[in-house]
Amino acid sequence: MAHERSAAFAPGRVNLIGEHTDYNQGLALPFAIAEGVTVRARADHAPGAGGGRVVARALDLGERDEFPLADPPGSEGWRAFVRGTVAELARAGFPLIGGELDIRGRVPPGSGLSSSAALEVALCLALIELGSEGPPAEGFAGLDHIEIARLCARVENDWVGAQTGLLDQLASICGAPDSALCIDFSSLAVTPVPLMLGRWSLVVLDSGERHAHAGSGYNTRRAECARACELLGVASLREADSAAVARLPEPLRDRATHVIEENRRVLAAVAALSAGDLPALGELINASHASLRDRYEVSTPAVEATVARLLAAGAAGARIIGGGFGGSVLGLFPPDAAASIPTQAREVRPSGGAHLLVA
């Protein structure tokens, strides 16, 4: 007999450094944050009724959706994520049960903190648990992290239309307290790296500009990287040679140079963290932002104003995070600037990954 109820939480993420590298088989250094999405599921075993249907409620929005468990049609907004996750789980062979899903989020959508990955991962955990037999599972026990991350990425790619990589989902699934995760997207190895901040703080400040990957320049950037690979004759920019990249036409040269240099900055950031050198981390964060603004061209005036505000308040480093074209800015503050952190900024702490809750 499958379970009557299940509940799961999955966090959003902040990417310390390594932006637009995931779909280029590169390196990134994200961490899961304490804020995320909670999904509570209740099976409906009534004959002929809930078994074949899903009723989903987005409690923060006061909105509702209802759709068939088998072959749900596509939709828009949050509904596309829920329907897509249900459909991809079914296609992957997970036994599912119809019923009710209550969704509550503490990550503002469109703020660049991966509310969508948190939603997909929490849905996966809650729905798999609801449909599974036997005693309640613990956390991700028995589930393949990479398989779930890929499944969630298919939801973004095929149901939402955003050609995103695996960064957000892997960070949400694998998050560990007090650690960033060094992810190598060519091997999909995830290595926790202690992120000991002492009296320093990491904050995010919303630029106020919302973004949606499907509609922004995100997909264009991804296509540009693919075109650069074609011209270079390599399978991914991870294999690209700097001398050959220098001969690419613009804007492809700038895009590929960003990726190659950003991978190096990730390694330098891991070294800075191991040495406890937070000022060096701040400089790397600033260099990453400059490259995202000038070479990758994913910044906006509102984001620039937000970066300037954090730097003026004494941040050792500030940069746009996530896909770009709006969203949040990350700031790294030394202890002596703590008093001048803007009051609207929210402190973020490296926290644990997705897990089941008591239903």
Catalytic residue among 65, 168, 206, 277: 168
Region of 42 please: left (phi>0), alpha (psi -120 to 50) or beta.
beta
88 versus 168: smaller Cβ distance to ligand GLA: 168
- Containing H/E element for 116? helix 115-131
57 versus 319: smaller Cβ distance to ligand GLA: 319
Answer for the pair 161, 222: CB distance below 8 angstroms, yes or no. Answer: no
Say whether residue 262 binds ligand GLA (CB under 6 A): no
What are 222's two structure tokens?
């991804």
- Containing H/E element for 265? helix 252-274
Near ligand GLA by CB under 6 A: residue from 11, 36, 317, 323: 323
Say whether 3 sits in a helix, a strand or coil. Answer: coil
- Positions in 283-322 near ligand GLA (CB under 6 A): 322
Instruction: Note if 60 is an active site residue.
Output: no
Near ligand GLA by CB under 6 A: residue from 23, 140, 296, 325: 23
How many angstroms separate the first and last alpha carbons of the chain? 16
Strands lying side by side in the sheet with 355-357: 63-68, 53-58, 99-105, 30-43, 5-15, 355-357
Stretch that binds ligand GLA, among 19-27, 126-134, 184-192, 243-251 (CB under 6 A): 19-27
Q: Tell me the closest approach of the beta carbon of residue 65 to ligand GLA, in angstroms.
A: 23
Say whether residue 20 binds ligand GLA (CB under 6 A): yes
How many Å apart are CA 101 and CA 65, to the nearest integer? Answer: 10
103 versus 167: smaller Cβ distance to ligand GLA: 167
SS3 string, 132-167, reads CCCCCCCCCCCCCHHHHHHHHHHHHHHHHCCCCCCH
13 versus 42: smaller Cβ distance to ligand GLA: 13
Say whether residue 120 binds ligand GLA (CB under 6 A): no
17 versus 341: smaller Cβ distance to ligand GLA: 17
- Positions in 125-184 near ligand GLA (CB under 6 A): 164-165, 167-168
Residues with a known catalytic role: 168
Which residues of the chain form contacts with ligand GLA (CB under 6 A)? Answer: 19-20, 22-23, 164-165, 167-168, 322-323
